[in-house]
Amino acid sequence: MVTKTNEQALEEGFILDVLVNYTICKSYYEILKSTEDNPLSDTKMAQKRLKALVERDKRTIATKAEIMIEHFVENLFNQKKLKEKAKGMVSLRI
């Protein structure tokens, strides 16, 4: 059995570089402070915790997956850009 590194497989065209068409889905959050000058308010920690909470939510994951599938169907599949030769991968950080 012959094994190849990912780098070799990319160079030989055996697999495609998935980062060529990498798209970032950005999220925006707004945190309202209860008082303007609250010395106990740690904005960065609050943003970090809010992001962790939202990004793990099943509705958020489902919505992002739906957006990705819609984009794939509308921009690639329906426009016959794949020529029946492509494979795809969706990668999420959860």
93 lies in some domain: no
| 42 domain residue, yes or no | yes
What's the CA gap between 30 and 43, in Å, rounded? 11
Q: What is the pLDDT of residue 3?
A: 72
pLDDT digits (tens, 9 = 90+) for 26-38: 776 666 666 666 6
Yes or no: say if 91 and 61 are a contact pair by the CB < 8 Å rule.
Answer: no
Decide if 44 is inside a domain: yes
- Residue 71 within any structural domain of the chain: yes
- How far is residue 23's CA from residue 88's CA, in Å, rounded to a whole number? 13
Whether residue 17 is contained in a domain is answered as no
Determine the structural domain holding residue 70 and report its residue range.
Answer: 28-77
Confidence (pTM): 0.51
Token pair listed for 66: 């739906």
Between the alpha carbon of residue 49 and those of residues 46, 58, 66, the distances in Å are: 5, 16, 25
Residues of the chain with pLDDT under 70: 1-2, 18, 21-23, 25, 28-41, 86-94
